[in-house]
Amino acid sequence: MIHTFDTAALPATPWKNGGGTTREIVCQPPGAGMDSFDWRVSIASIAKAGPFSAFPGIDRVILLLDGAGVHLQGGDINHRLDTPGQPFAFSGDVALGCTLLGGASTDFNVMARRGRVRADVRILAAAEDIAASSGLLMVLRGSWQVGDARCAPGQGLWWDAAVQLSVTPQTAAALLIAVSLSQTGC
């Protein structure tokens, strides 16, 4: 089944440390908590420097949507997330510190439970046919025809059963975030 979303309509949940908010797009399976999900996609608004929560056993991909970005440091990671639309993959096992590179920033986050699900995050700039058992598409820039829906920035769809969709940019310089999820084990 295909589900549509608009990130502007999603409720913002404040972080326990007061450093930002999260807008959850999808968490699978339905009703799973932070210690039992298979995969989760969300938008985070980071308002101040502080620690990133560690998620042992989770593989993460993050990309900057808006703002000057952040500098992530911890373990072997020393990464400036400062260019919108460039996915950065890292292990959720690592406790990271986060420093703002300017004002607040907004990030797109994908989390997949290692050993169960593998997430592939790509940025599309041209028409493509998508076939995946689970996934999510969200417009980063411009306007896109996504299956039967026309989507603007922050809008998209997700699915948890095999689909085939055609995506086509409707404006110049349009970009689309494409998340494909595949089962890796039990």
pLDDT digits (tens, 9 = 90+) for 147-169: 899 999 999 999 999 899 999 99
Q: Is residue 52, in this structure, part of any structural domain at all?
A: yes
| Spatial distance between the Cα atoms of 89 and 111, rounded to a whole number of angstroms | 10
Q: Is residue 5 part of a domain?
A: no
- Structural domain containing residue 98: 10-113
1-52 pLDDT, tens digit each:
899 999 999 999 998 778 899 999 999 999 898 889 999 999 999 999 988 8
CB atoms within 10 A of CB 150: 13
Evaluate whether 174 touches 139 at the Cβ level (below 8 Å): yes
Q: Which CA distances in Å does 142 have to 22, 94, 109?
A: 23, 35, 20
Q: How many independent structural domains does the chain possess? A: 2
Domain boundary among 87, 113, 139: 113
pLDDT of 91 higher than 80 = yes
Q: Taking the CB of residue 86, how many other CB atoms lie within 10 A of it?
A: 12
How far apart, in Å, are the Cα atoms of 134 and each of 52, 153, 171?
A: 27, 21, 27
Tell me the CATH number at 177. 2.60.120.10
